[in-house]
């Protein structure tokens, strides 16, 4: 049976699948958007794409 690839992501940094209740982000890695756990991306020094497009520092 074929599993839909669009539903299954693995973390770019730790290689584990998305976990329920764990923050999941897409980060830009060398011009390529990759899926990652929020804490793994944070540890790697990567910022998730900003959801807020407003000016910083008001």
Q: How many CB atoms lie within 10 A of CB 18?
A: 15
Model pLDDT for residues 1-51, shown as the tens digit of each residue: 454 445 679 999 999 999 999 999 999 888 899 999 999 999 999 876 655
Q: What is the pLDDT of residue 33?
A: 92
- Give pairs for 8-14: CB < 8 Å, separation 24+: 9/35, 10/35, 11/35, 11/36, 11/37, 11/40, 12/36, 12/40, 12/41, 13/37, 13/40, 13/41, 13/43, 13/44, 14/40
Domain span at residue 13 reads 5-43
Is pLDDT of 58 > 60?
no
Q: What is the pLDDT of residue 46?
A: 87
Residue 35 lies in a domain: yes
Q: What is the pLDDT of residue 37?
A: 95
Residue 23 lies in a domain: yes
Q: What is the pLDDT of residue 4?
A: 46
- What's the domain count of the chain? 1
């Amino acid at each position: 049976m074929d599993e839909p690839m669009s539903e299954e992501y693995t973390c770019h940094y730790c290689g584990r699948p998305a976990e329920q209740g764990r923050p999941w982000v897409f980060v830009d890695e060398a011009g390529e958007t990759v899926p990652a756990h929020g804490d793994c991306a944070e540890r790697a020094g990567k910022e998730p794409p900003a959801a807020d497009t407003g000016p910083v520092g008001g």
